[in-house]
Amino acid sequence: MATGDHEAVLPPPAATPPAAELAPALALWLQRLHAAGLGCQGVALHAADAAWRAPFERADVADAWAEARARVTRDSPVALSRVATGELMVATHLALPSGQPGIVGALLEAPHNDRSLQLLLLSLGWLQLTLSAASLAHNQRAAELLELMGHVASHKDARAAAQDWVNRTAAWARRELAPEADLRLALFEVRHERARWWVAADVAHAESGSPAVQAATEIAQRAFVEGRELTEPEAWALPLLDRGEVVAVLVAQGDASPAARQVLRTSAALAEPLLRHWRAAELPLPVQAWRALRRVGARLRGPGHWVWKGGAVAAVLVLAVLLLVPVDDRVTAPTVIEGRTRQLVTAPFEGFIAQALVRPGDRVRQGQVMLKLDDRELQLEQARLRGERDQAAAKLRQAMADREAASVALAGAELQGAEGQLALVEAKLARTQLVAPLDGLVVTGDWVQQLGAPVELGKEMFEIAAEGYRVVLHVPERDIARVRTGQPGVLRLAGQPHAGHDFELSRVTATASVQEGSNGFRAEAAWVGEVPALSPGMQGVAKVVVGRSNLLTIWTRESVAWLRLKLWQYWI
């Protein structure tokens, strides 16, 4: 984040120092060469990075300097050449603090000897250490800044983090000042176009009417209005920006040296966005929503932001379409095709399947045999009962011949019992063949692969559907109140998804049923127009037109109904 007209974020450790640090180092090195008794006309430094370049002040040695640099290699780290005026140009390799190779040059006066060259090369160690000092100090500041942010981020709420940050930042800045210097630090946040006191160094709470707070608030407000740094004899204010707008102001009262100000700029630029977003995240949700709406409104009213304005116009148009354009309001329901008349064929008694003559999908005529049950046991039982009947009849005749009234009554009862059992067996034998009760299509009952299987009394063996079909809908419970007989609709079958078929509701029952975990009610419909090629059991999806409404109401009806039910259940 930019603060005022300055870049407050620390550069990375490998960044190049400004020329203000490089030039004094070379000048001090030249002074040390003179103090050692070397007559040196000037020094220079060259590297691939332009920030590490410092040419000779004399323009007439530029060509000699370029030639000497070109001759410096890894195998030959020192290059010597004479210039036209008689001086000796010395160029040698120098490792820069950034890790990049550099070439340093010196222009020595005559006379020259080996001792002069040795002194020059020995002094390069001092120069390299001096150049590395700025990078080392930078690394120390970066490490201290990271430690500071670690302490700030360890807190649980924004205010405690801000208080810790301002205390530690003030202590850091005071180390750049003289021991007797006084520095007081306060952070103001901008709310409703005013700079408001938030936290201050070494102070947990401040009286808003105290002279110190009033003075700090006054300079903070002026820095916010002017949008730039303000420097006064006893105070200094730094506005902190976000997207070009002042969102906070840092005020330092007392002695604030340039070094201390740089520390404050760097620390504030890194910590203030974190603290601001942290504090905003702790606000109640309605306040956050209101602020977001205000920001959006400002963008829509202000200049520029054409994407936002175009999006707002598009949103208004879409909302107008959703609210003002009426469309068919339809209820969606899963559907199955059933025969108009259906009849079940059940097992008349317990037995075993002897022969299956039809399968699902076959068309049958009324009275056609569809399945035969095994009747061998019944025939044996019939023969046995016929013998018992004949014996009972013979006993009855003998008793009548003997004219014994008691024997006649007993024989008569025995005969009636035998005849009754025989009639029951013969009735079962008459029903061993299951016949079609009407003309139609076999819908269920595939027994061809189950010959010899046992069946129970009353077991459903076949379902016969007569000619003609009807549509059966499973209307969801949430929509049943809007469904009425006579309403039109369109059906698409799973086997014919490309074509829609018109129908009209003919009946809505009050019997609930559950399908696929959804509670609903059965409704029946009749075809309108040409009936497609159908088979009982075909499934699809039907849409019943229950009226007209706007799209927004249709899309939100289910959610609104759910919300109303929950409110009624828990709160009202």
The full set of domains in the chain, from first to last, is 19-137 (3.30.450.30), 155-282 (3.30.450.40), 288-324 (no CATH), 345-456 (no CATH), 468-548 (2.40.30.170)
**pLDDT for the residue numbered 8:** 37
Position 135 confidence tier, pLDDT thresholds 50, 70, 90: low
pLDDT of residue 301: 83
pLDDT of the residue at 489: 92
Q: What is the pLDDT of residues 376-430, one digit of tens each?
A: 887 887 888 888 888 878 887 787 877 777 777 887 888 788 788 888 877 887 7
For residue 339, give the nearest of 494, 473, 465 by alpha carbon: 465
Q: Is the pLDDT of residue 271 over 50?
A: yes
In sequence order, which residues have a C-beta less than 8 Å from that of residue 103 and are 6 or more positions away? 45, 46, 47, 69, 72, 91, 92, 93, 94
Tell me how far apart the alpha carbons of residues 534 and 491 are, in angstroms, rounded to a whole number: 13
Q: How many CA atoms within 13 Å lie on the side-chain side of 347?
A: 19
User: What CA–CA distance (Å, rounded) separates 485 from 475?
Assistant: 13
Give the chain's mean pLDDT.
83
Checking DSSP bridges between strand 183-191 and strand 78-82, what pairing results, if any?
Answer: unpaired
- With the C-alpha atoms ordered 476, 481, 483, 484, is the resulting torsion angle positive or negative? positive
Q: pLDDT tens, 158-190?
A: 889 989 999 998 888 888 887 778 888 999 998
- Residue 13 predicted with pLDDT over 60: no
What pTM was computed for the model? 0.46
Q: Which amino acid is at 246?
A: V
For the segment 434-456, the average pLDDT, to the nearest whole number, is: 83
Instruction: Provide the pLDDT for residue 238.
Output: 92
At 211-261, the pLDDT tens digits run: 778 888 899 899 989 888 998 888 899 999 887 888 899 999 888 788 888
Spell out the residues 6+ positions from residue 431 whose beta carbon is closer than 8 angstroms to its own.
348, 349
